[in-house]
Amino acid sequence: MAYLLTFETALLDPSGESENPHNPIRGSTVLDWLRHNCFSEPLRWTEPEPEDWGWYIDVVDGEDSFLVGGVCFENPEDEPSDSHEWLIQIHKQRSIIDKLLGRNRLSPADPVVALIRDAIMNEPGFAKVEVEEDA
C-alpha cells in the first residue's frame, strides 16, 4: 500500500536538479523541500537518491522506516511553464512477518504520513492537492 499526494506549484523549480542516471525523471527538488519543511526530531532523513522511476529518500521514525518517492511530471513537448505537477509517494517498510500477519500497515495516522501530508496541504503555494491511498 502507498500513500500518494499530487499537487501543482511554481514554487519548486526542477531545472537545477542533478541528472538521474537511470531515467531522465526529476524529483529531488520536492524531496529537498520536504526535508527542509518537515524536519523534526527524532526523524532521520537521508539525502535524495535516484531510482529508475524517480527519486527517493528514507525517513526513519524510531522503529518505523518509510520510503518517500518524488517525481516531477514534465512533458518536453509542452510549452515551458513555471508551474509543475509533482507526485509524492509514501511506503512503509515492513518485515515479512508483519506482511504475513497483516501488522504494522501504512496508515494516514502514521506520524511521518501526517507530517508530510500536512506540510503539503498547508503550503499556500501548492494548488490542486490530491491525496490517495493506493492499495
Three-state SS sequence of 29-59 = HHHHHHHHHCCCCCCEECCCEEECCEEEEEE
Q: What is the pLDDT of residue 40?
A: 77
Q: What are the residues facing 66 on neighbouring strands?
A: 59, 92
Q: What is the pLDDT of residue 78?
A: 59
What is the number of domains present in the chain?
Answer: 1
Q: What is the span of the domain harbouring residue 22?
A: 2-134
pLDDT tens per residue, range 75-104:
655 566 788 999 999 999 999 999 999 999
Q: Which residues contact 58 (CB under 8 A, 6 or more apart)?
A: 45, 46, 65, 66, 67, 68
Q: What is the pLDDT of residue 135?
A: 57
Q: What is the pLDDT of residue 134?
A: 75
Q: What is the pLDDT of residue 20?
A: 93
Distance CA 3, CA 132 (A): 6
pLDDT tens per residue, range 67-78:
999 999 976 555
Q: What is the pLDDT of residue 41?
A: 74
Q: What is the pLDDT of residue 80?
A: 62
Residue pointed to by grid coordinates 494548488: 127
Contact (CB, 8 A) for 129 and 3: no
Q: What is the pLDDT of residue 17?
A: 92
pTM, 2 dp: 0.90
Segments of the chain scoring below 50 in pLDDT: none
Q: Which one, of 86, 77, 113, 115, lies nearest residue 11 by Cα?
A: 86
